[in-house]
Homo-oligomer: A and B are copies of this chain.
Amino acid sequence: MKINVAIIGSTGYTGYELVKILAKHPNVNIKYLTSRSNKNELYINIYPQLKHILQDIKCVEDDIDKISKEVDIIFLALPHGVSSAKINKDILDKNKIIDLSADFRLKELKTYEQWYCKHNSPELLKNAVYGLAEIYREQIKTAKLVANAGCYTTCSILTLYPLLKNGLIDTDSVIIDAKSGISGSGRSVNFNSMFCETNENIKAYKIASHRHTPEIEQELSMACNKNIKVQFTPHLIPMNKGILTTCYAKLKTNLDENEIRKIYKEQYKNDYFVRILDENCFPETKFVINTNFIDIQIKIDKRTNNIIAIGVIDNLIKGASGQAVQNMNIMFGFDEKTALL
């Protein structure tokens, strides 16, 4: 079985990783790649990396009505605010959609508009399933609209989820200190992504104001059945890809590290892409780069009674395009790992 696929906004870093993965997918036929900035160009001229791998396919305009009639699934790799203007009920009736933007991730319209901008199709919010397979696999199976989880959020939520779900920590004490490679800023040309501005440098940014905060809070609040707030601080690291989240919380249990590690393993026992590392092996982003894995480890500090939980992902794979393909595989009944090994 082969499905026809369209990628709207295919030339950004996320779009490229998506094309690269889908080009190897045995059940996928890439039918449309759209791009405003590179209209009518051969995709392999934009990304010579894919010569001999991707067939000769030209970027076209994103005429979504036309496209929606000819494909089985549409990936939206567009900026926040643009995705929600692109789709409507009609399109959703005909197609499955995986939106890689944040537009359908937050359940509360008010929260979305407070952290982002005006929402362009609020009536579709109720249709969206949060696209994090390790938590919503069952709902994703039948979803028409999947709001693919964000990069920082995927790493933060999966790293902390078992602690909150099992009531092991003080819910007022969660601090997430996150570090990301530069590709997280996207492929748009901007001063802050220039080599000499980022290389040999580290900085925190959007302190106490990053938009992934409410998304993390929404999912962790559902895990513990309580509205919680988290302190989230992202940093830019001079490397292309990778996210590491160092999460801190006050422990509320006497369980030791091995017992908590067991809880993690139990939580994720059916999740191939979650690897709970063995004792004394701590996550490094190089363990997961170019893969769809998340690696997690925990440490208890008895002096302070804090637990430190650390997770790593490839921000463009498990944090975006790999996760999107994982979701697609689930939606179409393919093996969840297809094209992701």
Q: Which residues of A are interface residues toward B (Cβ below 8 A)?
A: 13, 24, 45, 48-49, 51-53, 175, 177, 179, 181-183, 187, 189-191, 193-205, 207-208, 229-231, 233, 235, 237-242, 244, 246, 248, 272, 275, 277-278, 281-291, 293, 295, 299-301, 303-304, 306, 308, 310, 341
Contact = CB atoms under 8 A, between A and B. Distances in A.
A201 B286 contact: yes
A285 B238 CA distance: 12
A242 B195 contact: no
Q: Taking the full assembly, how many copies of this chain does it contain?
A: 4
Contacts of A233: 177, 246, 308
Contacts of A301: 207-208, 231
A277 to B, nearest CB: 6
Contacts of A242: 200-202
Nearest to A280: B45
A239 B179 CA distance: 14
Contacts of A13: 196
Q: Which 4 residue pairs are nearest across A and B when measured between Cβ atoms?
A: A208-B301, A203-B284, A177-B177, A201-B286
B240 A177 contact: no
Contacts of A201: 239, 242, 284-286
Given A231-B306, A246-B233, A199 B195 contact: yes
B196 A282 contact: no
A155 to B, nearest CB: 12
Contact of A287 (B49, B191, B284): B49
Contacts of A244: 202-204, 235
Contacts of A289: 200
A237 B287 CA distance: 15
Contacts of A230: 304
Contacts of A200: 181, 200, 239-242, 285-286, 289
